[in-house]
Structures are given as structure tokens and as C-alpha cells.
Structure 1
Amino acid sequence: MARSRSDFLPLLPRRNARLDSFLKRNTERALYERIRTYEPCVVVSDVINKVYMYAVLSDERVYLTEFPPRALTAAVSLERVRDIELVNDLPDFLSSKDRERCQHIRITYIPERPAEKQHDWLQREKGEGLPPVAPPSRRASHCPIRIHDLKGYPADSWWEKEELQPVMKTSRSSSCPDPETLGLPRIPLPHPPSPPSSPPEENLKTAESRQVTQRIGAVLTRLLRRDRADFGEEREAELHLYVVSQTSTLYLHLQSCWNSFVIKSTRLLDPVYRRRSTPSSDSISAERTAHLFAQLSSELLQDGITVENRYLLLQELRTAAHRNVTLRRLFWRVRRYDKENRQSENTWKCGQKSRFLSIYFCSQSGEAFVFLVQTLEECLHGCQSFSRFHTTDQLLLSTLIIQTFAIMFRETEVEVSRSSLLFANRGALISRLLLAFVCDPDGEKQSRGSASDSELQDLVSEYLDAACSLLFELLLLGYQTSRCFPGENFMSVSWILGVLQPHPHLLPFIRHQAQLLVLVLSDQTGSVLSPAESVLLFQRCRLLLACLQYNNQLAQHLQLNFREEFRFAVTPSSAEQKLQPRYPICKPTVRLIQRIVTLIQRS
């Protein structure tokens, strides 16, 4: 039975007209559009004691504002967060009724310190500039015909040149006078006065004095840095949010944002990924983005398109989605042509071809999603095994579809159209997707593709990595749904694994993921993982933890086949050796491995 729109409301943020108006006036459009949710709650921190406020969550920070809103203050950067957890307690400052339905969220983080020059204090008057910015990469030349030769093609497009960068407003309205209203400190750096001019005969003496002063300043800098290290620069602080509602989704959105942030910030440490994902300084409006997406999707969905052209268009779509969250939202949204849209259509006609207008306004929610699911099913032939692949082209196209799906799920959980599509008919589309991309990792031994055995093995490994990342995104959806619909067991983590359980290749697929985890962490060469490899390790850990927690068959399979490996090779210490401590994803991954080891050792 299909669900109505009201059934999805628990997954979506509650709207407050007054707070919405305040946020629109006091933030840039790019930041406002990236606000995930907000909730009224009682706030407790080092500087706030039991104050009723709004917690506002964006993709990068937790903000606080008064009730009613007057000033928006950045409270915690997700970059500094170490843990987000629900505390099972009964706050004594709440009434007995509110205690029972309160969600106590504890955010543990490292407080931010004032910006500090990396060089000597006295050097700032010299006006040293920033290093030059590398020029953007040019669009690659035209591609050959075969899709196999298109692998790695840099599908840059108009999206790269026209993306909008989020920038905070420099001016504030009278209703929001000071970002430090709530008492969060802002410590200004001292500005030494300009030295008076000296006569020529004193130049030598002044130069000698300046050298001595610089040496003293350098010594002081080293002493202060050592002092901070000795007395614990990584001091942890806590922000407590008491949400008096059993149906609040704030905790879910916090966890989702934090997951997305640590993944994205870790990947951005890779220069190649950063170059492909970072938008340029040129801006593009939401309307222009919608028009360009309509043009691209119409070409992708047209009849008679060749496999090679479809691959190129999907590459362009994936690249654009990396840079543009608006495009990811458009991928799910509903737009129907009716009389109310004629005003918008007339606005669009400024020099544009009318056929693209009809495509945009007549498109229905999920058309591209349904098309890609069907294409994936056709490529995998019912996902029997990789032996059904007739060419490596189909494998490459399937990998690209899986990667595109994973990107489109990212940071779009508040989209009504996405929930409507995925929840329709008891998750029929999600079921089709799950059964389509899970496959037999050993089937490539019988494949008959156009590539050599080693090359084909690399392509299969890339596909399986992409499948792991997509299943990770779907499990995040399951975690959210589990809390919003606890009594129905609908599209929860257990439901997702239950859909997969009859699949003939589920056990080999999960066994392959566990084997890769053991292989990576048992490697004694001393090499550390790259940012992309570290993210994949994190996603693989979340997948295996879900199997151990929510499916008895998979848990028993892992315990039976990997108990000894996880006792000696897969340990938190081995993970710390393979992960760079500076990666934001390092500590969350180590904690996941600790939980996996504990569960897999149970008899």
C-alpha cells in the first residue's frame, strides 16, 4: 500500500515561519539552503546553563539562537566533533512529563582556538601574501568511441564554471547585531603599532635590535606551543541538547551530517578529488542549475542513445553532482506542468529553447532514478553473476551508475520527493536496487570480456567497492527510518538486510567485504591508506557492523569464518597504524572496529 505525503513527515524537519524568516534575512542563500533542520531544546554548555533555544544544523556547523531568534551564533563546528550520542537519563530540571519524552543529545568536541600565525609574530607587518592558486584544469579532448577507453575521462562541464560558493553575509540586520551574543569568546589578535622612522645613522642599531626582538619572539612562540602541548591542547568540551519530543529527528540529522562531513573532509585531503569536487568562484542560480539538469537528463533519457554516449552523460552528471548539492536535490524533486507554472515558463524563455522548458516542467519525480535502476538491472542480467557480462563496457557502466546513486543519496535526506519515491509501494524501488547491485565476487573467473584477466579483476574490484559505498548510504537511510517508524520495521536496517537475505550471492558478497577488511589491516608493509581508501574502510566497517547487529544469519557467518582473523589481525591498534591521525575519519573508524571485534568474538 502506497504511503501518503504525511507519512514521511517524521523524516523531515519541522518548519517554523518566524525562524525561517530570521534565517533568510541573516544568512547567505547558499548557507540557508544547506540548513538541514532546527529544533527547540534546552541547551547546556560551558557558557550556557539550561537556556531554551533553537539548535540550527547546517552541513558544517551547529548554530544556536535565542527563543525568539535575535542572533545566530556558531556553537560547534562538525570538524571539531569527536562523538555524538544519545544519553539515557531523566533530567531533573524538567517536569515529570517532559522527562519521559526527552531526548538528551551529548556532543563532545574540541573547542576552537583563535586563528594563529604559523610564522613569527613580528613578520605580519611585512604583508606576506598567500600562495598563488593553481589554475583550473581544462576540459579533456573528445573521447574515443569505445566506453572501455572512456574510463577515467574527466567529465568537466558547465557545472564546473558556474557553481555557487557558500559565503556568509558580511553585513547583519539589526535583529542580529553580534555573533558572540551568547558569550562564546572571540579573542582578537594584538596589532603592534607601526615603528617610528629612524635617522640613517641609527639603521644599523635598529636592525640589530629587530633581530634580537625576532629571536625573542620566536622563542616565546615555541614556549607557548610547548606549553599548550604539555597542558593538553586537545581539551574536550560538551554541548548538551535536551529535545523535549520523542519524535524529534535532530539526533538523526546530527549523525547524518557528521558522517557526511568526516567523509567529505577526508576525501578533500586528496588533491585530485579536491580539484574535481571544489566549485569554481563563478556563481550559478538555482533556476539555471535546474535548466542545465533538465537538458542533461533529457539527453540521458532519450531513445536510441548509444552505450558510449550514455556513459559520457552519466560521467558528466556524476561530476556535476560532486560539486552541486542543488543538482542532487533536483534529481529527486517533482515538477509538473500546469497553469500555475506558466508564469515561471515565461520567465525562462529569455533566449532559451522552449523544448527544454517543457522537459523541465513535465518531468516527474524519480524519472532518472527509475531509469538508472532499470539500466542497472539490464546490465547485470538479474544480477546472477559477473559471468553474464558479455563486455567490460557493461561492467564500467554499472560501476558508474552505482557511484552516481551513492552521490545522489548524500545530503538529500530532507527532500520530500526523495522520501515519497523511496517509500512508495513499501520500498519497491529500493528492493529492486538492492537485488540488482549485489553480485558474486567470484563470478569474474568465468567472465568473457574484452579485457585481460588482471584488467577485468581491477574492474570487478572497483565495482565491488562502489557497491559497498552505495549499500552504506542505504543503511544510513535504514538507521533514520528505524527511529522514525519504530513500530513498523519498514525500511529499517533489518528490513534492508532482510530483502537481501534470499539473494543467492549475499554471503559471498559480505564475505568479500570482510576479507578486504582483514587484508587491509593485516598488511605489515607499513604503508598508510590514502583518503579514498580510508573512507572506504570506514564504510566497510559500518556495513559489517550492521550485519553483526541486525541479521542473525550474517552475524553467524562472520563469526564462524572470521573469528581468528579478527582476534589477531583486525584490531583498533592495527587500524591506527593504517590511518593517518590527521584524517577526520580516523577516530570514528577505530571506534567502529572496536565494536566489530567485540561482537564477532561473541560465541
Structure 2
Amino acid sequence: MARTGSGTLLTRRNPRLDSFLKRNTERGVYERIRASEPCVVVSDRIHRVYMHVVLSDERVYVTEFSPRTLITAASFRRVRDIQRVNDLPDFLSGKDRERCQHIRITYIPEKPEGRTPDWLSKHEREGLPSAASPSRRSSYCPTPTGYPAEREERPPVLKSTRSASCPNPEALGLVRTPRPPSTPPSFYSTSPSKEGLKTPDGGQVTRRFGSVLSRLLRRETINEAEEREAELHLYVVSQTSRLYLLLQNTWSSFLIRSTLMLDLRHRRCAGSPDPSAPPLSWERTAHLLGQLSSELLRDDIGVEGLYLLLQELRTAAHRSVTLRRLFWKSGELCDFLVRTLEECLHGAQNMGGASTADQLLLGALIVQTLAIMFRETEVEEARVSVLSVRKGALTSRMLLAVVYDPQAKSRESPLDSKLQSLREEYLDAACSLLCELLLLGQQTSSCSSADALLSVGWMLKVLHPHPHLDSFISYQAQQLVLAEVGLQDSLLSPADSVLLFQRCRLLLACLQHSSQLTQHLQSHFREEFRYIVKPLCEEKLLPPYPISPPTQQLIEQILTLLLDR
């Protein structure tokens, strides 16, 4: 779901649904809606009904196919797992059955508020299966009901025979994956409405602070142990639907925001957004971004002025998802940032020189700004247009510009601790940006061939000739090992935990899509991962933050690929 300058929904546009959402949601909520998809929905209270599933940054909503009531189906702060199930639903037939994608969301239901919608009450009166008992759920399956199709979409034909997911987990072979014991329920409950700044100089969290978190977690675990898990099943009748990846990425983004919010709460970092301030309108944000862009693109701008303006742009992008969406409306500013990065970091190296501290500082700021612009803009059609124009020329330049040699020479003393810190800050930011680019590649790969433009395979092919790629990836792997070793003494800060998650995503993508990088990692890091990372992984020493459970899963996947081959 992309938007025009006024915020109109474009991707899979449904005028009736769009109009309904504008009328029935606050502007701030509407602006953060990412996508909608018609699905057959099955849950404890909804039985095989063709509905619109609406995805926002914090919740999954459902509404009737002819929208009348918008209700929350699941909040990401209470989601425990999102999986794609490989099955053929019995209630569909023909091609609909073969091309259906079945998505299962496991979550902790929230207590219902307000009056139950009429359509839901109707189904309950008809004896819809609820959370009573497994025997009731598996033995009762009423005739499915659907809502009338609109002109541009037609619901699939639902068969009246028993559906294995109606909902009967045993018949489908749906063995629910148990939630890892390290899942932190108390921090999943964090529901940040706005995103704050990530502080680059975050220190480690002490064990004393960790013990406080542990006590809170134990207390919350006792409370949540009394709550049951529920499942929301979404059946998308399309092989090219990106709903599963959007759900996964939105959930990950929510966990990242929730984790970074811990930094803001405990450290009150400078420049964090004022939660009481009303959000700027789309038009006002577009006007301010236009003014800032005009100043950045001036020919007579100096390095100091450029740095200050980029700081302002980065801070504004942290606070406003609307600004991030508007950034991609034109590729001019993105091209300027990539060109400036090429000049400040690689221009001197290509001429036999070396980077200065000022160049590293400016380069890190540019890369951080670009990484933020990718965040939560997956559904923007303008972003795909900017990055794919001229066979992905801008994306290729960005990929090659962001990779930097960790052992690069410097004009200052090689023992200068400040210079080393700036180099590490840049390499951390580069990891975050590459992670965002590879997420884009995964979405492209899901709908196209493995080597299609902007796919993961295509991006890694662009990177392979880079002379410093191996050393760059080695640095990221080494930092993962060092982070794991450090967990024996102290907990990672929230910001460092997010960075660890991103490093794991980057390394996993390399192992899954590049035989060249896989061989490199196996030959240089197999033993470190076997004897250092694996024991720590088994001991589950990751901090009790929202981002920790998916990070644990990524580490286990990396170990499988790195050690079992």
C-alpha cells in the first residue's frame, strides 16, 4: 500500500475500503497503515469469512468485505509467532486451493473492549467455535459464510466440507511451536506510539539492571501464564501476495522500536520526540522536507553546513514515518546522499589516499540517514521506482559505496582511539543499511526469480566484485562473536541488541544466498562459532528485550548453516 502526496492508498487499492479507513480511523493511525489484503479469516471467533485484513505498524485489523466495522485481530506487542503453513485448505477448490498462502499468527488475545460487532455476534449466536476446548473446536464446523464481492475483487468459492483448519490443528499437522522460555512478555507489552532516536554511544547495561529486568519478567510471566494463546489463520488466495513478508517485517520493526524505546525511557536521550506534540500533517511535512532538500542541494553548501542539515534530516526522519515516505517521492535527494557518500569515503581511497575522521563522521551520518529512510517504507511504490530505475543503477552504487574496509588506512595515527571509534560507528551503520537493503531483496525474491532486479541474489552479485567485501563481512561476523562473549559479563544495551539482530540478518542472508561468502565464513569462523557462539546460544544469555527471541532464532539458523555443511 503506497500513497500519493495526499496519502491515498495505491497498492491493491480498494476505494471503498480506503474511504472507510479514512472516515473511521484517526489521521495518525491511517497514515501508518501499510497494506490491506482480502483473505479468508479463521480464528476462535471468526469462521472462514472472506474479509479485508488491514496491516498497520502496531496491529492487524479485520473488517467485513463490504467494510462496516474495523476491529483489532491481533496487536504486535502480543504476537508470539508468525509462520507460513504448507497445506492445501479443504474449503477451497480448484486453482484457489493450489495458490493459497496460509499464514498462522499465534498471539495472546487482549480483553475485548466495548460492544461486540453485529457481524461477530451473529456468528456467535450461530454457535461459532470459541476457545472452549479442543474437542469442541475439532468436532464442530458450521457451513462457511462469505460476504458479497465488490466489482474489482471476487472472493474464492468456499466448499462446505470440513476444513482441516476450522480450526483442527491435528488434521493439518499444525504443531504449534512453543514460545521460547526467553520470550520477554513484559517488554512485548511496550507499545510505543512514536519512534525515538538511537544513541550511537550507548554503553552496556549492568547486571544489576539486568536483574531488575529479570524480576519484572518473572512477575509478568506469572501473569501471562494464566492467559491462553490463540491463533489467527489468514488464507490469501494469491501466490504473489507479499502479506506474509509484510507481517514478518512489520512485527520485526515493532520489536526494534520497542527495544529502542527502552533506551529513551532509561536514558532520556537528547532529541527524542515529544509524545504530547500533535503529528504534522502530510502537507506540512512535505513542505518542510522540500525546504530542507533545497538547502542540501545548494552548490555553495560547505561541509559543516552539510553535516548540520543532515543531522536535522536524520532527526526528522526518526520522528516521522510520513517524512520517510515522502523521501522516496523523488530520487533526487537519495542520489545526492549516495553521491556524497561515494565522494567522502571512497574518493580519497581511489586516489591512493585515506579517510579522515571528518569523512568517517560524515559517512556514518549519511548511512544512518539512508537506513532510517528504508525503515517502515516497504510498501511504497515510489521507493521501488527510485531504486529500480536504469536497471537498479542507484541501488548498485549504494551497495558498493556502503561497504568499507575495516582495516583502511587513515591519515591520522592508526592508534587513535577516536578514529577507531568513528570507523566502528560507520561499520555499524553500514550493517544496518545493508540489512534494510536485503529486506527489500527478500520481498523482491518472493515475487520474482532469484536473480531478478533488486532481489537478494542480484544484490550479492553486485557486491561480489567489491575488493573489501570479504573483510567487511568478516568484521560483522567477528563483532557477533565478540558480542556473544561479552554477554558473559554484562547485558547488551537495547541499541546494541538491535544491532546484533541486524548483524545476524545480514550474515544469514550471506549464508543463504552466496556460496562465495559461505565458504569465506566457514573457513575463517567455523571454530569460533562452534566453541564460542554455540555454547552461549544454548545458555540463552541474550538480554530480556523484545528483539531477543527472534535474534536467538537467527543465531540458531546461522549455526545450522555454518556448522552442519
- What is the TM-score with the length of structure 2 in the denominator? 0.76
Given the superposition, is the C-alpha separation of residues 562 and 39 from structure 1 closer, same or farther in structure 2, using an over 3 Å criterion? same
Name the SS for the 2:225 alignment partner. coil
Percent identical across equivalent pairs?
65
1:113 positional shift: 4.9
Tell me how far apart the structure 1 counterparts of residues 270 and 539 of structure 2 sit (CA, whole Å). 28
Given the superposition, is the C-alpha separation of residues 177 and 451 from structure 1 closer, same or farther in structure 2, using an over 3 Å criterion? farther
**Aligned counterpart, 1:214:** none
Amino acid at match of 1:436: A
**Aligned counterpart, 1:426:** 391
1:555 positional shift: 0.6
Given the superposition, is the C-alpha separation of residues 390 and 566 from structure 1 closer, same or farther in structure 2, using an over 3 Å criterion? closer
| Aligned 8 A contact 2:69 2:117 in 1 | yes
Amino acid at match of 2:491: V
Tell me how far apart the structure 1 counterparts of residues 297 and 121 of structure 2 sit (CA, whole Å). 51
Amino acid at match of 2:53: A
Given the superposition, is the C-alpha separation of residues 242 and 479 from structure 1 closer, same or farther in structure 2, using an over 3 Å criterion? same
Q: Deviation string for 1:295-351 (max 9, x for gaps)?
A: 111111101111011000000000011001111111111xxxxxxxxxxxxxxxxxx
**Aligned counterpart, 1:287:** 283
Q: 1:89 aligns with which of 87, 90, 97?
A: 87
**Aligned counterpart, 1:52:** 50
Point out the structure with max Rg over C-alpha: 1
Name the SS for the 1:108 alignment partner. strand
Tell me how far apart the structure 2 counterparts of residues 367 and 233 of structure 1 sit (CA, whole Å). 54
Amino acid at match of 2:321: V
**Aligned counterpart, 2:361:** 396
**Aligned counterpart, 1:521:** 484
Amino acid at match of 1:325: V
| Aligned 8 A contact 2:457 2:513 in 1 | yes
**Aligned counterpart, 1:476:** 439
1:395 positional shift: 0.9
Q: 2:523 aligns with which of 548, 560, 575?
A: 560
1:406 aligned onto 2:401 = no
Given the superposition, is the C-alpha separation of residues 295 and 176 from structure 1 closer, same or farther in structure 2, using an over 3 Å criterion? farther
| Aligned 8 A contact 2:450 2:456 in 1 | no
1:297 aligned onto 2:259 = no
1:228 positional shift: 8.4
Name the SS for the 1:41 alignment partner. strand
1:56 positional shift: 0.5
Q: Deviation string for 1:364-396 (max 9, x for gaps)?
A: x11111111110010112584898335311111
Given the superposition, is the C-alpha separation of residues 533 and 287 from structure 1 closer, same or farther in structure 2, using an over 3 Å criterion? same
Amino acid at match of 2:378: E
Name the SS for the 1:388 alignment partner. coil
Q: Deviation string for 1:230-267 (max 9, x for gaps)?
A: 99336432111000111212112112211211111111
Q: Deviation string for 1:476-504 (max 9, x for gaps)?
A: 00000111223762211111111100101
1:548 positional shift: 0.6
**Aligned counterpart, 1:266:** 259
Q: 2:343 aligns with which of 361, 378, 382?
A: 378
- What is the TM-score with the length of structure 1 in the denominator? 0.72
Name the SS for the 1:534 alignment partner. helix
**Aligned counterpart, 2:249:** 256
1:578 positional shift: 4.0
Q: 2:61 aligns with which of 53, 60, 63?
A: 63
**Aligned counterpart, 1:584:** 546
Given the superposition, is the C-alpha separation of residues 72 and 299 from structure 1 closer, same or farther in structure 2, using an over 3 Å criterion? same
Given the superposition, is the C-alpha separation of residues 89 and 561 from structure 1 closer, same or farther in structure 2, using an over 3 Å criterion? same
Map of 1:459-538 to 2, 5 A cutoff?
459-486=422-449, 489-523=452-486, 525-538=488-501
Map of 1:123-202 to 2, 5 A cutoff?
none
Q: Deviation string for 1:2-46 (max 9, x for gaps)?
A: xxxxxxxxx973010111111111101111111111111111112
Amino acid at match of 1:247: T
Amino acid at match of 1:589: T
Tell me how far apart the structure 1 counterparts of residues 19 and 120 of structure 2 sit (CA, whole Å). 18
**Aligned counterpart, 1:127:** none
Given the superposition, is the C-alpha separation of residues 276 and 575 from structure 1 closer, same or farther in structure 2, using an over 3 Å criterion? farther
Q: 1:440 aligns with which of 391, 394, 405?
A: 405
Name the SS for the 1:243 alignment partner. strand
**Aligned counterpart, 2:236:** 243
1:107 positional shift: 1.1
Aligned Cα root-mean-square deviation (Å): 3.0
Given the superposition, is the C-alpha separation of residues 525 and 243 from structure 1 closer, same or farther in structure 2, using an over 3 Å criterion? closer
Equivalenced residues, count: 463
Tell me how far apart the structure 1 counterparts of residues 362 and 467 of structure 2 sit (CA, whole Å). 23
| Aligned 8 A contact 1:102 1:243 in 2 | yes
Name the SS for the 1:546 alignment partner. helix
Tell me how far apart the structure 2 counterparts of residues 275 and 113 of structure 1 sit (CA, whole Å). 36
Amino acid at match of 2:294: S
Segment drifting more, 565-574 vs 83-92: 565-574
Q: Deviation string for 1:97-136 (max 9, x for gaps)?
A: 2111101111122223589xxxxxxxxxxxxxxxxxxxxx
Amino acid at match of 1:253: L
Name the SS for the 1:491 alignment partner. coil
**Aligned counterpart, 1:192:** none
Map of 1:115-126 to 2, 5 A cutoff?
none
| Aligned 8 A contact 1:329 1:415 in 2 | yes
Tell me how far apart the structure 2 counterparts of residues 81 and 596 of structure 1 sit (CA, whole Å). 24
| Aligned 8 A contact 2:349 2:355 in 1 | no
1:286 positional shift: 1.9
1:74 positional shift: 0.4
Tell me how far apart the structure 2 counterparts of residues 500 and 289 of structure 1 sit (CA, whole Å). 35
Segment drifting more, 393-402 vs 412-421: 412-421
**Aligned counterpart, 2:98:** 100
Tell me how far apart the structure 1 counterparts of residues 520 and 450 of structure 2 sit (CA, whole Å). 28
| Aligned 8 A contact 1:72 1:179 in 2 | no
**Aligned counterpart, 1:76:** 74
Amino acid at match of 2:527: E
